[in-house]
Structure 1
Amino acid sequence: MERNIARIALFAALIAALGFLPAVTLGFGVPITAQSLAVMLCGTVLGAKRGALAVLLFLALVALGLPLLAGGRGGLGVFASPTVGFLVGFPIAAFTTGLIVERWKGPLPLVASVASIIGGVVVLYVFGAMGLALMLGKTFPEAALLVTAFIPGDIIKAVLAGGITSGLAKARPDSLLSRA
């Protein structure tokens, strides 16, 4: 139990740490950031439930006002911005990614990469596009078209998540809770 709590907190801290890497904010108010890589890793390493809990802990800290999002943003105001769909989608993306890794017993680098694409890209984009449509007054197809700007970088992040997860499994097999 205590180890689970520590790992959840550690991965919440990882999401926060990747928010300190320089972000590029696009014209419609959503930054390109490394935090989605950490969300993918929450699922691939911790599994569905623990991964989602790590992201929820991170979002709770953001809601309390800690400036943990890319660009030093935090507070309840971020949940009324164009990024709201992505923030709401973060825990669902981590859960989906983790569920796929837990259930699909294929080669880990492939499974973790595909799970990251499905959960950390496809699922996250659906929520992100819904948030953009709501906040920017656009239709869902218009918002979905805006989100396509993130595809190349997020595919790279998904492959990185697969490689990092596989490397972690080789170096410390007991730390990969998604395959426990």
Structure 2
Amino acid sequence: MEKSLTHVALFAAIIAVLGLLPKLQLGFGVPITAQSLGVMLAGCVLGAKRGALAVLLFLLIVALGLPLLAGGRGGLGVFVGPTAGFLWGWVAAAFVTGWIMERGAKAPVLPMAAVASVLGGIVVLYACGILGMSLVLKKSLVESTLLMAAFIPGDLLKAAIAAMLTASLARARPGSLMSRRVATGQ
């Protein structure tokens, strides 16, 4: 239990640190950041429940006012702006990414982590983010989806990085992927 809490806190910290990397602000209020990479990694490494808990811990700290989002943003206001759907979507993205990793515990890590990162960390995240952006910006779902096209190449790169880091971790420290241990009952 104590080890799980430590891992959850560690991945919340990783997501926070990735927010320190400079963001690229697009004209419609949604920045390109590295933090979604941390969300993908949380799911790949920790599994569904722990990955989602890491993101929830991070979001709680942001809600308390710590400026940990890219560009030094924090506080309750970020949960009602153009990025709100993405913030809430991070929880679902980490959970789905971890769930896929758990279900594919017998498959090779690299391709499984790539599939999990794309489906959870991009498809699920975009679904939440586009819906939120559409509501806040009062745009149609089609318009919001078209605005998101600029993010696809970068997010595919993040998914590839998450998969490679997850596979490297599995090689360097066999048994370290909690997402694989959950599925095999270890």
- TM normalised by structure 2 equals 0.96
Long gaps (5+) in structure 2 = 182-186
1:53-98 residue CA offsets vs partner (Å, 9 max, x unmatched): 0000000000000000000000000011100000010010000000
Map 1:19-168 → 2, pairs under 5 A: 19-104=19-104, 105-168=106-169
Amino acid across the alignment from 1:114:
V
1:102-144 residue CA offsets vs partner (Å, 9 max, x unmatched): 1013111000011100000000000110111011010111111
Identity %: 64
Instruction: Provide the rounded CA distance (Å) in 1 between the counterparts of 2:120 and 2:161.
Output: 14
CA deviation after TM superposition for structure 1 residue 28, in Å? 0.4
Verify the 8 A CA contact 1:128 1:147 in the aligned structure 2: no
Instruction: Provide the rounded CA distance (Å) in 1 between the counterparts of 2:24 and 2:137.
Output: 19
Instruction: Provide the rounded CA distance (Å) in 2 between the counterparts of 1:159 and 1:17.
Output: 19
Instruction: Provide the rounded CA distance (Å) in 1 between the counterparts of 2:174 and 2:12.
Output: 21
CA deviation after TM superposition for structure 1 residue 174, in Å? 2.7
Instruction: Provide the rounded CA distance (Å) in 2 between the counterparts of 1:175 and 1:64.
Output: 31
Instruction: Provide the rounded CA distance (Å) in 2 between the counterparts of 1:4 and 1:173.
Output: 17
Instruction: Provide the rounded CA distance (Å) in 2 between the counterparts of 1:28 and 1:13.
Output: 28
Number of residues of Structure 1 aligned to a counterpart in Structure 2: 180
Runs of 4+ in 1 over 6 A off after TM superposition: none
- TM normalised by structure 1 equals 0.99
Amino acid across the alignment from 2:66:
L
Instruction: Provide the rounded CA distance (Å) in 1 between the counterparts of 2:113 and 2:80.
Output: 32
